[in-house]
Structure 1
Amino acid sequence: MHSPDASDSARAAGALRLLDEIARTRTEPVPAHWREALRDVPRDAFLPGRLWLRDGAGGHRPCDRSHDPDGWLAAAYSDAPLVTRFVTESDGTRSPASSASAPSTVLRLLEDAQLTDGARVLEIGTGSGYNTALLCARLGAASVTSVEVAADLAARARAHLAALSYHPTVVHTDGARGWPPTAPYDRVLATCSVRAVPAEWLDQTRPGGRITTPWDSAWSCYGTLNLTKRQDRSAEGRFSAYGSYMLISGQRTDVELHRDVLRPGQSPVTRTTGLSPWDVAGADPGLDLHLGLTVPGAWYSWDTEGGTAHTRLWLADTSATSWASVDYDGRQTETFAVAQYGPRRLWDEVAAARERWLLAGAPDIGRYGLTVAPGVQRAWLDTPDTPVP
């Protein structure tokens, strides 16, 4: 189902520009089979007529094919994430609900899956269907099963795939459940992130098969986990240092600082610290992964409005029972005011976890791994014999 506003020559030129753009982000060439798939599968065929592009100020601006066909087509063949749908939150704000990931990110995920000829794949999150089409181009549609929680997205993707003569199994269902009728799979590949690997994915992966999924924690949404299924119901593997995807719907938490966490009459414990909040929050991807794994449920946000401090780092937990704040007064950086409330002392937990990370040599993401089984998730550093506290 090609865009009616794009000629085949314009689409081909866009695909070549995209490949060149992707090549500039890599240290090694794009493998020939993926280069062929990226060239042959038209990305614009899977995108809606309105896209939302990053506006450079932390928000998004709309781009409509009907009003700006050239700009829309350029966005379609750019190596950039494109928001395709928003949802309205309980407080009236709008947040992205579905997106088309940057093609270079898509490619990294596909490469992590280590697909081989004849592999049977379960894709978690059909989305637009573009990633599904790349899988079909690589493996053949008969080898691809894809599940999507949104019925309208599943139907639209199915139609777009059929228009390109791809007929994989596309099912409207909760991705956390997988799809048992066509199991077991050689590969389970998620296009959404998880905070815990569903037991159903383990059960539906054959021994020796591979589960590749973007990773998320309350602290940070970054990294990709690559697991190898063992003979029992467990799997083990390492993280890769790329991948930022929306969290699978069933694992999302709806906790807001001012609505759910801060309450009148709370009396926090106060002190000072010499540890800069900038050395903790977003300081290093390896540290972010470490904190996400070792300080469960903790998340942070920055307040730069200046109402109570020049800059404040807020910490809270997903249970909405504990919070902490760390204040920079705008003048000196030797000490910072700390306030902590609730059964957890979140700043103390985060500071102690950071110290353990430093003592371990400030490891990067690739040194971390995870062993998972139904109801069990154990992080480790370098080898499974060195668990992360």
Structure 2
Amino acid sequence: MTTDPDLAQATAARRAALVQALSDSGELTDPAWRTAFERVPRHVFVPYFYDHTGRRISADDADTRDAWFDAVHEDRALVTHRTGGAATSSSSQPSVMATMLEALRAEDGVGMKVLEIGTGTGYNAALLTHRLGNDSVVTVDTEPDLIAAARARLTETGYEPHVVLADGTHGHPDRAPYDRIIATCRIGSVPPAWLRQLTDGTGSDAGQILAPLGNALVRVRRTGPLQAEGRFLPGGAYFMPLRHGTVDGIPTRRPALPTGKARRTDVPVSASADNAYRFLLSIVEPHLDWQYDLDDAGRPTAARVWSPDGTIAALHPDGTVTETGPRSLWSRLEEAYRLFTEHDGPGPERYGLTVDHEAQHVWLDGPGGPCWSLRP
């Protein structure tokens, strides 16, 4: 695939165009990362993906080759692995990858070592290795098939980071300590093993973690043994969850729709698609799944939301809600909405995270503001 001169020229041109677009939008500003995105061939790491219907779009299929070629060179997240019909791994949107890599504050030429949690296709590991070198990057994933494919594609493109089959929750102590840990999967709290595997230091020399927590990115700096603190970055970040084995991380199937008596609610349907409000919900009520009805302009007119315990609520176009299950989920969402409006609709950048041994708290506008304990 990569030895075809015409394909190599075409892919290089498309990579350059994407990099220019990311630079023009301000999402790719570091020249070193720009070079990495120009040089590392995403199409090698994503030889196929699945569209929203579950159809396989592949470089090897004449009927889908053109669609595949366009997609792997666009700023799109692409589902690359499915388990039981559900998406369980993907190649992240390049603009989000650029944002994360720049926020990681990794420096080449100073011996900095990075641990990546969530190898996936291997593309992000290749970008890290291009900048930092083979000996400076360790990447782990829990899925044997993904690890084998990523290792082969990394070798094919000339990159040889340390690739490990392991539960990312435990990091990789054999090659610790790490100056930076970056997760490409969503976490509900910071695993203690990651904190133990960070480098000591003070200020900017302290080890740092960058990870999707809830629906946004958080960057924390080690402040002591099993202690860290930091803030969330602006904007949303929607990632698949950290998996501990090959059968978890699969979305919960929607329970039967509620049929009970409807009541009025002060949460408008528009709030259900508001990224700032949804971030707060991802902290207050993690593991929710949503489903929408949309109008011709793509705006939500109704929504269903459910949790793994079987609780489900339905928000109707007339501003009423019905729910069923072992608890009142919608009351929790209403409570969060009142706090959200009382504090002028804060975005993720107004929240922070403090880790002190077993206790982890997300806070709003400072450690003394409203806070929420994270469950391990």
| TM tier relative to shorter chain | 0.7 to 0.9
Amino acid at match of 1:258: P
What residue is the counterpart of 1:244 in the other structure? 238
What residue is the counterpart of 2:167 in the other structure? 174
Q: CA deviation at 1:136?
A: 0.8
Amino acid at match of 1:157: A
Q: Does 1:72 align with 2:44?
A: no
Cα distance, 1:303–1:32 mapped onto 2, change above 3 Å: closer
Aligned partners of 1:78, 1:86: CA distance in 2, in Å?
Answer: 21
Q: How many residues align?
A: 354
What residue is the counterpart of 1:325 in the other structure? 314
Q: Alignment partner of 1:202: what SS?
A: helix
Q: Does 1:346 align with 2:329?
A: yes
Any residues of structure 2 matched to 1:1-389 within 5 Å, and which? Answer: 2=2, 4=4, 7-26=7-26, 30-48=29-47, 50-53=48-51, 59=53, 61-66=55-60, 67=62, 68-88=64-84, 94-117=85-108, 118-207=111-200, 208-216=206-214, 222-240=215-233, 241-250=235-244, 252=249, 255-258=252-255, 268=260, 270=261, 272-282=263-273, 284-296=274-286, 298-302=288-292, 312-320=302-310, 322-328=311-317, 333=318, 336-388=319-371
Aligned partners of 1:44, 1:138: CA distance in 2, in Å?
Answer: 19
Q: Report the TM-score, using the length of structure 2 for normalisation.
A: 0.85
Amino acid at match of 1:287: Y
Q: CA deviation at 1:34?
A: 0.8
Q: Alignment partner of 1:99: what SS?
A: strand
Deviations 1:143-185 (A, max 9, x none): 1111111112212222222223322110111111110100111
Deviations 1:303-343 (A, max 9, x none): 68xxxxx96533433222x3333333xxxx4xx33334445
Aligned partners of 1:225, 1:380: CA distance in 2, in Å?
Answer: 12
Q: CA deviation at 1:17?
A: 1.4
Deviations 1:247-277 (A, max 9, x none): 1123736532326xx6xxx995x45315254
Aligned partners of 1:12, 1:315: CA distance in 2, in Å?
Answer: 43
Aligned partners of 1:46, 1:267: CA distance in 2, in Å?
Answer: 46
Amino acid at match of 2:172: W
Answer yes or no: is the 8 Å Cα contact 1:277–1:313 preserved in 2. no
Aligned partners of 1:59, 1:374: CA distance in 2, in Å?
Answer: 44
Q: CA deviation at 1:374?
A: 4.7
Q: Alignment partner of 1:11: what SS?
A: helix
Aligned partners of 2:149, 2:78: CA distance in 1, in Å?
Answer: 17
Q: CA deviation at 1:37?
A: 0.9
Q: Rg larger in 1 or in 2?
A: 1
Amino acid at match of 1:313: A
Aligned partners of 2:19, 2:182: CA distance in 1, in Å?
Answer: 23
Cα distance, 1:291–1:318 mapped onto 2, change above 3 Å: same
Q: CA deviation at 1:301?
A: 3.0
Cα distance, 1:257–1:44 mapped onto 2, change above 3 Å: closer
Answer yes or no: is the 8 Å Cα contact 1:253–1:318 preserved in 2. no
Aligned partners of 1:95, 1:340: CA distance in 2, in Å?
Answer: 25
Q: Report the TM-score, using the length of structure 1 for normalisation.
A: 0.82
Answer yes or no: is the 8 Å Cα contact 1:191–1:214 preserved in 2. yes
Aligned partners of 1:190, 1:228: CA distance in 2, in Å?
Answer: 15
Answer yes or no: is the 8 Å Cα contact 2:115–2:138 preserved in 1. yes
Q: CA deviation at 1:5?
A: 8.1
Q: CA deviation at 1:52?
A: 2.7
Answer yes or no: is the 8 Å Cα contact 1:300–1:314 preserved in 2. yes
Answer yes or no: is the 8 Å Cα contact 2:187–2:212 preserved in 1. yes
Q: Gaps (5+ residues) in structure 2?
A: 201-205, 295-299
Answer yes or no: is the 8 Å Cα contact 2:364–2:371 preserved in 1. yes
Answer yes or no: is the 8 Å Cα contact 2:226–2:357 preserved in 1. yes
Answer yes or no: is the 8 Å Cα contact 1:199–1:373 preserved in 2. no
Deviations 1:270-292 (A, max 9, x none): 4531525414311x211111122
Deviations 1:89-138 (A, max 9, x none): xxxxx222221112111111111111123210000111111111111111
Aligned partners of 1:298, 1:102: CA distance in 2, in Å?
Answer: 22
% identical equivalent positions: 32
Amino acid at match of 2:264: T
Amino acid at match of 1:289: F
Answer yes or no: is the 8 Å Cα contact 1:228–1:237 preserved in 2. yes
What residue is the counterpart of 1:91 in the other structure? none
Aligned partners of 1:72, 1:206: CA distance in 2, in Å?
Answer: 41
Answer yes or no: is the 8 Å Cα contact 1:33–1:138 preserved in 2. yes
Q: Alignment partner of 1:2: what SS?
A: coil
Aligned partners of 1:324, 1:188: CA distance in 2, in Å?
Answer: 37
Q: Alignment partner of 1:108: what SS?
A: helix
Q: Alignment partner of 2:327: what SS?
A: coil
Answer yes or no: is the 8 Å Cα contact 2:75–2:93 preserved in 1. yes
Cα distance, 1:286–1:276 mapped onto 2, change above 3 Å: closer
